[in-house]
Amino acid sequence: MTSPQAACLRAALQVGYHLLDRGGSALIAVEHTIRVLERSGLFNAGNGAHLQLDGVRRMDASLMEGDGLRAGAVASIEGIVHPITAARMVMEVTEHVLLVGPMATKFAKHHKMESQKRQAARRILSYGSMLTRMHKPKNRHGTVGAVALDQSGTVSAGASTGGIDLMLPGRVGDTPIIGCGVYADNETGAVAMTGWGESIIRLAVAKEICERLRQGKAPVLVVREVFRRLVDKVHGSAGALVLTPNGRFAMAHVTPHMAAGWWDGKGEPVVRDRFR
């Protein structure tokens, strides 16, 4: 895979791996990997997040650590470059898991997080045409995510998104919902999701994958089982990154494409746009 997005994915993998190689935590590696993608403007997250129906860019992100099940998330946050860091701050400096809307934005600004440059709205659609456009979206994703395993045996997962292009203001997908868009548990593994958020929420897919990993099955088999149910039960579409505490991993999707990659520090990072 050769494209600006692929090059950015490779750079992000290198940032995350080097942090782990120096003894850094999986949580920080996941955060900084995602920060590279948010800053790039090449994905539907951070600087590249889609605009909602009213021309406003609202973003969601979450982060979870498998040791102690610590988690933080933000939803419908506006005007910052790195929602994933806002999610980490929610986890580390509050007693909460999820902050939403204007108060999440105020929280981020209070902690002096980098702001985005203002951009004019591209267009506003009527409510009726928006409903038509929103019906079971297929190619309007681009959520970024990462999973990591550190030297202490702790797994972490994170994700960041701008949602669906021109979606109804107030809509929140799976990304900031712990157990749906992300989950991490040192007893089972770490999962980060992308795809049609409404279908992922209905099956709480990230948690479902982790619970099936508890049975000792290979990650690739577990993802196939869960995705089969996702498609059969709710006609859903999704992609997943899965990593277990013993280093087994899977990347799979039931969407036309899912650009993703991995790196173990040897050779060059591996990046593809399709997985089984």
Which residues form the catalytic set?
143
30, 54 Cβ separation under 8 angstroms: no
Backbone dihedral angles phi then psi of residue 135, each to the nearest 5 degrees: -60, 115
Contact 80, 88 (CB under 8 A): no
Phi–psi pair at 256, nearest 5 degrees: -60, -35
Q: Which residues contact 111 (CB under 8 A, 6 or more apart)?
A: 86, 89, 93
What torsion do the CA atoms of 9, 159, 181, 156 make, to the nearest 10 degrees?
A: 90
Q: How does 49-69 read in b/e, with b if 16+ C-beta sit within 10 Å?
A: bbbbbeeebbbbbbbbbbbee
Q: Which tokens in the block code for residue 19? A: 């942090």
Say whether 101 sits in a helix, a strand or coil: helix
How many CB atoms neighbour CB 102 within 10 A? 11
